[in-house]
Structure 1
Amino acid sequence: MEWAGPEAGNNLDEYTDTVTSFISFCEEVCVPVRTRKIYNNDKPWFTAQLRRLRSEKEEARRSGDKDRFKEAKYRFAKAAKEANTASQRNCSSSSLGNPASVWKGLKTITNYKPKSPQTSDNLFSGK
């Protein structure tokens, strides 16, 4: 469909809708979609391996096999403790004797974003 303009009787809204729909269709076909759950209390050291071990532990619990559950629980707890310890060691060694990196880490943890400074023009113009 070629758009010849309003003088030829074509509706610009219909043409725009057609083109937009085609672009959306191409986007759905070409761009892969991934869904990832993100929780507010996700820890940076909680890796994909730990998620896999946790799901194995939950699966073993649901199956009712006590020995399998006990083993999966042990493997998960051990891996979680190692990951947490490694993360703490990395964090403390990187900021040792460097106050700037400590403050940077605190800003990252708290998600602190400073307000943009206002110029004197903005203060007086009411923007």
Structure 2
Amino acid sequence: MISCRPHYLPREFSSRFFVAVYLPPQTDAGTKTALNELYMAISKQENAHPEAALLVAGDFNAGKLKSVLPHFYQHVKCATRGKKTLEHLYSTHRDTYKALPRPPFGKSDHHSILLIPAYKQKLKQEAPMTRSIKKWSDEADAKLQDCFASTDWKMFRDSSDGIEEYTTSVTGFIKKCIDDVVPTVTVRTYHNQKPWITGNIRTELKGRAAAFKERDSNPDAYQKSRYALGRTIKQAKSQYRTKIESYYTGSDARRMWQGLKTITDYKGMTM
């Protein structure tokens, strides 16, 4: 097993792990023991590097990696020795490679396999989403407090015929106050964007890019911008972790399930 960090790598991957495997022809007990050893080695790296891409390739003979790691995908569908598929290629993502049989090397009785990259980056899989959000600030909070403090709430109760009309009128008024006071901004999110990315990080990224252009004339400013970006990213990750962990302290089952899916990267069953 080797780890590498290519110069160019899709943003959704932090690094790549390549695992070369050979399982000799043996009894079912021996194959099971070998697969368990392979499971332990791969799981250790998955836990240590959850955002890494793993490729497991080699001669498996009678072994099947999916029996111990069911979330891996097998990409070799063609026969590699006679009518049997002994050479396998597994990865953690669907449609990573297209495998084509090729003539064997020298006097080998196994076909060689040509792997054609077929993976499509998350950035290119779907168009970015544009949505409108409220930009809250201390100034907006103060204006809302003044608005609510000067409101005659008794008026809504006196003019309502029942609890439902009373509730609708009050919530409608609150929504109108928020729309009038809190500014709305349009943000664009990409599918390969990390969930902990915030506006502060984007600001620091722009500052670092500007300092990078002037790094020859002002290297200290570039160094400070790098440190500032690192601190902001660390703080954003800590805040996001606290947010996810807070889902387990409340009584909202829906939020708790969202936290579980985020932590485990659960995508649901595909038919």
Give the TM-score normalised by the residue count of structure 1: 0.50
> Per chain length, whose mean CA-contact separation is higher, i.e. which structure has more relative contact order (CA < 8 Å, sep 6+)?
1
Instruction: Pick the structure with more strand per residue.
Output: 2
Give the TM-score normalised by the residue count of structure 2: 0.26
